[in-house]
Amino acid sequence: MKISFSFFFIIVLGIVSPVFAQERFAAASQTAPNATQRFNPDISLNGLFAAAYFSEPENLQFGAHDPSDRGFTLQNLELTMSATVDPYFRAEGHLIFGFEEGESIVEIEEAHMTTLALPYGLQLMAGQFFTRFGRLNPQHPHAWDFVDQAIVNTLMFGGDGLRNPGVQISALLPLPFYLEILGSVQNAKGETAMSFLSSNGETFAGRPILEQAVNEAEDMLSMGRLKASFDLSETLTAVAGTSHLFASNGTGTDTATRIHGIDFFIKWKPLMTDHGWPFVSLQGEAMQRSYEAGAATLDDGTTLPRETFETEGFYIQSLYGFKRRWVAGLRYDLADATDPADPRTGDRWRLSPNLSYYPSEFSKIRLQYNYDRSDDLADPIHAVFLQYEFTIGAHAAHSF
Q: With binding defined as CB under 8 A, does residue 8 bind other proteins?
A: yes
**Interface positions, 246-275, toward other proteins (CB under 8 A):** 246, 267, 269, 271-275
What is the pairing mode between strands 103-115 and 89-100? antiparallel
Q: Which residues pair with 360 in a beta bridge?
A: 363
Quick one: 97 or 326, whose CB is closer to other proteins? 326
CB proximity list for 382: less than 8 A, separation 6 or greater: 54, 55, 369, 370, 371, 372
Nearer of residues 202 and 218 to other proteins, judged by Cβ: 218
Cα angle 184-289-128, degrees, rounded to a multiple of 5: 30
By CB under 8 A, is residue 276 in contact with other proteins? Answer: yes
| Range in contact with other proteins (rule: CB under 8 A) among 55-63, 171-179, 203-211, 288-296 | 171-179
Residue 344 near other proteins by CB under 8 A: no
Q: How far is the CB of 117 from other proteins (least distance, A)?
A: 2
Written as one letter, the residue type at 95 is L
Distance CA 213, CA 254 (A): 12
Residues 30-59 that bind other proteins (CB under 8 A): 30-31, 33-34
Of residues 198-227, which lie at the interface with other proteins (CB under 8 A)? 217, 222, 224, 227
Q: Report the chain's terminal Cα–Cα distance, integer Å.
A: 35
Minimum distance of other proteins from residue 25's CB (angstroms): 4
* Shortest distance (Å) from residue 8 CB to other proteins: 6
By CB under 8 A, residue 5 contacts other proteins: yes
Contacts with other proteins by CB under 8 A: the residue count is: 69
According to CB under 8 A, which one of 237, 255, 338, 352 is a site residue for other proteins?
237
Residue 282 interacting with other proteins (CB under 8 A): no
Question: x/- site string to other proteins, residues 103 to 142, per CB under 8 A?
Answer: -----------xxxxxxxxxx-------------------
Mind giving me the DSSP string for 28-83?
A: PPS--S-GGGTTPPEEEEEEEEEEEEESSSS-----TTS--SSEEEEEEEEEEEEE
User: How far, in Å, CA of 156 to CA of 196, rounded?
Assistant: 10
Among 172, 210, 330, 341, binds other proteins (CB under 8 A): 172
Q: What is the DSSP string of 99-168?
A: EETTEEEEEEEEEEEEES--STTEEEEEEEEE---TTTTTS-GGG-SSSS--HHHHHHH-TT-SEEEEEE
* Interaction site with other proteins (CB under 8 A): 1, 4-5, 7-8, 11, 15, 19, 22, 24-27, 30-31, 33-34, 84, 87, 90, 114-123, 169, 171-174, 177-178, 180-181, 183, 217, 222, 224, 227, 229-231, 237, 239, 246, 267, 269, 271-276, 324-325, 360-362, 392, 395, 397-400
